[in-house]
A and B are shown apart, each in its own frame.
Chain A
Amino acid sequence: MVVQPMELLEQILFGLMIGGIYGVIGVGLTMIFGVMRLSNFAHGEFYMLGAYFTYTFVTLMGGDPFLLAPLAAVAVGAVGIAINRLLFKSLYEELKEAKGAAAFYFQDLKFIMLTIGLSILFVDLALVLWGPIPISIPSPLTKHIVKLPGGLSFSLARLIAFVVAIATLVGLYAFLKFTKTGRAIRATAQNPSAAMLVGVNIYKIYDITMFLSTGLAALAGGILGPIYNVYPTMGLDVVAKAFVVVITGGMGNVIGSILAGFLIGLAESLGGLFLGTEYKQVVAFVIMIIVLWVRPEGILGGGRK
C-alpha cells in the first residue's frame, strides 16, 4: 500500500485535532475520578447537554454557537453542582460513616448504578425536550474553509475548536497548579481526611470539581455541536472513548488524560490509514489493553496530580 505524504500529513492533522477534544472530555472524567473517586457514567450526557444548551441559547438569543458554548458550559456546570448536592452528597455522608476498603467499593458500586441511571434519564429527557431528530447548529464558521498549500483544508470551526480545547487544557492545568483552590483540589484528591484536617471544605471542593468536570464536557459538546450535529444519544457515543482516554492516561491523572487524548486521536487516524478504517475504533481499545497490561497505572501513572 502506498501512502502519499500529503495524505499522511492530513491524517496526522485531523487526528491531533480530534485528540484535543478527546483530551477535554477525558480530563473532566478523570478529575471526578481523581478527586471524588467516582466513575461517572453520565459524563457523556453532560457533553450532550452542552450541545443542546448551546443550540437553545443560539435559538433564543441569536449569535454564534462558538460564543455561546462557554455560557452553556457554565449552565451545565450549575446542573453538575445541583446533582452533586442533591444526589451525591448523601452518598458521601454515608461513606464518611462506613469503614474499610469494602465500604469504599460498595459505595463506588452505588455511584456507578446512580450515574448509569442518570445517563438514561438525561438521554430520555433530551428526547422529550428536543425530540429525536438530529439538529445542526448553524455557524458561518463551519462554512469558512481554511486552505493550506498542498490541498490540505479544514473548516475554521474545527481550528477554533482545537484552539479552545488547547486553551482550556492549559487554563485548567494552570488553575490546578497555581491557585489556592487548585491546591485544595489536589490536596483533596491526595487525601480527603488530611485535607479536611487542614481546613479544606471538601464538599465545596466536590462542588467545584463537579462544576469543572461537567462544564468541560459541556464545552466540548458546545463547540463540537456546530461541527457535527446534535442528537440525544451523542453522549453515549463518546463516553466509552472518554473512559479509554482516562484509563490510558492513568485514572485521576489530568496531564495523563490530555496526553492520552492526543495519543488516541492520532492512533485512530494512523490506524485507520495503515490498517484500514474498519479497525479505527479497535485501535483505541487495543492501546488501552496494552497500557493496562504493561503499565496498569496508565502512561503517566495514577498519580492524583
Chain B
Amino acid sequence: MALSKNVLVIVIVALVVVVAAAFYLTQTGPAAGGTVKVGLIAPLTGGLAEHGLDMKQAAILAVDEINKQGGILGKKVELVIEDTECNPTKATAAVQRLLTQENVYAVFGEYCSTVTLAVQPSIMEAKKLLFVPVSVATKITEQGYKYTFRTCANQWMQTTQNADWVVEHLKPKTAAMLGVNDDYGREGLKIWGDRAKSKGVKIVAEEYFDKGSTDFTSQLSKIKAANPDVIFVVANIRDAANILRQAHEIGLYKQFVMLGGVTSDEFLQLADDDALGLVHVSYFEPTSKRPAAAEFVKKFRERWGRNPAMYAAGVWDAFLAFKLGVEKAGTWDVDKVADAIRSLKFEGAQGTIYFDEKGQAQTKVLLVQVQKVGGELKRVILYPPSDKQGEYIPPEKLYGG
C-alpha cells in the first residue's frame, strides 16, 4: 500500500514536470524586447461561449494579420486570451493576471457589460488601454475615462436608432416590450420605451424573463392578450429563437423587433423559419459590399471556414483602432496613443469609424429584416438607404391573416 502511494506521488510529480516543461517550451516565442502583449477577455466557456468564440477567432485573426504586416512600430503583437465565463469575479482575477503577470499594453473585451464595468477601473488605474468591442452598456463610455474606447454603437445609440426606424416606418399605435431581467434588458426596454412613448406610441405590456429561461409562454401569452402592433425584444440568440418559436406556437404573429444581439447565422439556423419577418439592428453584415468589410469577411472565412458574426467585426475594428492609433502616435506612450486614437478616422468592417471625446465610436447601425431569398433565410438590409437591399414585408404578408 505504502509503495503504491509513493509510486502515485512520483507519477503525479513527473506528470506535472513534463506538462510544465512542455508548456514553457511552447510559450517561449520571439525575444521579449520585440513583442508587445495584449489581452483578450471573453466568455469562452459557460452559457455565452458561442459569442466568446467569435471574439476569440477575430482577435487571433487580427493579431496574425498585424504580425504578417510586420507588427506595430516594429514590435510583434502577442495575444493572451483569458476566459471570464461572463463572471465579474473570474474576469477581475483574469485582468489582474493580465496586468501584473503578463504586463499587457492593452485589454480587449468583454462581451458582458457587467464584466466590462467591473474590470474597467483597474485597467484605467493601471493606465492601460481598454478596447470595448462588444459590451453596449451606455455607462462604459460615460465615466470620463481617458483610455477606454468602444468600437461598436452603444445601447443608447442602437436602441434609439431602432425605435426611430420602427416609429417612422411601421407607424405602430401600440407596442409591447420583452427583455432579459438584467441591466442589459432593463436598460434596453427603458430607452426603447421612452423613445417610443415620446413619439406617441402606447406601451401596452412590459415583460421580463430571467437569464437561463427556456420557456417564455407566460410572457408571450400576456403580450398576446395585450394585442400590440409591434413587440420589442431584448434577448440573446438562444432566447430569441425560443421566443419566436413559442410566439408562433401560441398564435402570436405580430411584428417582432430586436437589437443587434441576434445578428448571426447561428441564430437563423436555430430559429429557422420562425425568424422570418423579424426586424433587428445589425452592426455588421457579411454581405456588405464595402471594401473594408469584404476584406475582413474574406480573411475570416479563409481562416475559420464560416461567416463572422457582428461581434467578430467589433473585435476586428478594435484591433484596427489599436494599430492605427499607435502608428499615428509614433510612440508607445499611452497618453499620446489615446490622443491619437481620438483623432483617427478609418474604414473598419463596421463602416467609417471615428471616436468622440468619450471614446465612443460614432457608427450608424443597420436595420435588417429576415426574409427568404431564393428559399434561404437571409438578413436583408432595410436601412440606411445607402446600404438598402430590399423592402420591408409586414408579417400579415408573410404569415397570412
Contacts and interface: CB of A to CB of B under 8 A. Distances in A.
B254 interface: no
A145 B249 contact: yes
Nearest to B206: A276
Nearest to B266: A133
Contacts of B245: 142
Given A228-B242, A269-B218, A277 B208 contact: yes
Interface string A125-139: 001000111111010
Contacts of A3: 225
Interface in B249-304: 249-251, 266, 269-270, 272
27 contacts: A7-B222, A7-B225, A10-B217, A15-B218, A18-B217, A124-B45, A132-B44, A132-B52, A132-B53, A133-B266, A134-B237, A136-B241, A136-B270, A142-B245, A151-B251, A152-B250, A154-B249, A228-B214, A229-B270, A232-B49, A234-B214, A236-B47, A236-B212, A272-B219, A273-B218, A277-B207, A277-B219
B238 interface: yes
Interface in A109-168: 123-124, 127, 131-136, 138, 142, 145, 147, 151-155, 158
Contact of A14 (B45, B217, B241): B217
B50 A133 contact: yes
Interface string A1-13: 0011011001100
A231 interface: yes
A181 interface: no
Given A158-B249, A280-B210, A11 B50 contact: no
Interface residues of A, number: 46
A300 B208 CA distance: 33
Contacts of A10: 217, 221, 250
Nearest to A138: B272
Contacts of A138: 272
A49 B266 CA distance: 21
A14 B215 contact: yes
Given A127-B45, A133-B50, A136-B269, A18 B215 contact: yes
Contacts of B242: 228-229
A4 B46 CA distance: 40
B218 A153 contact: no
A93 interface: no
Interface in B123-156: none
Q: Specify which of B221, B237, B238 lies most central, judged by the most chain A CB atoms within 10 Å of its CB.
A: B221
Contacts of B250: 10, 152-154
Contact of B209 (A124, A151, A228, A280): A280
Interface in B95-124: none
B87 to A, nearest CB: 12
B274 to A, nearest CB: 9
Contacts of B241: 134, 136, 229
Contacts of A154: 249-250
B35 interface: no
Given A133-B266, A233-B46, A281 B218 contact: no
A278 B181 CA distance: 7
A135 B251 CA distance: 24
Interface centre among B44, B50, B208, B249 (most CB of A within 10 A): B249
A133 to B, nearest CB: 4
B209 A155 contact: no
Given A131-B50, A280-B209, 14 more contacts: A10-B250, A11-B221, A14-B215, A14-B221, A127-B49, A131-B53, A134-B238, A151-B251, A154-B250, A224-B214, A232-B47, A272-B219, A278-B208, A280-B218
Interface in A1-44: 3-4, 6-7, 10-11, 14-15, 18
A205 to B, nearest CB: 30
B106 to A, nearest CB: 25
Nearest to A15: B218
Most buried by B among A132, A152, A234, A276: A132
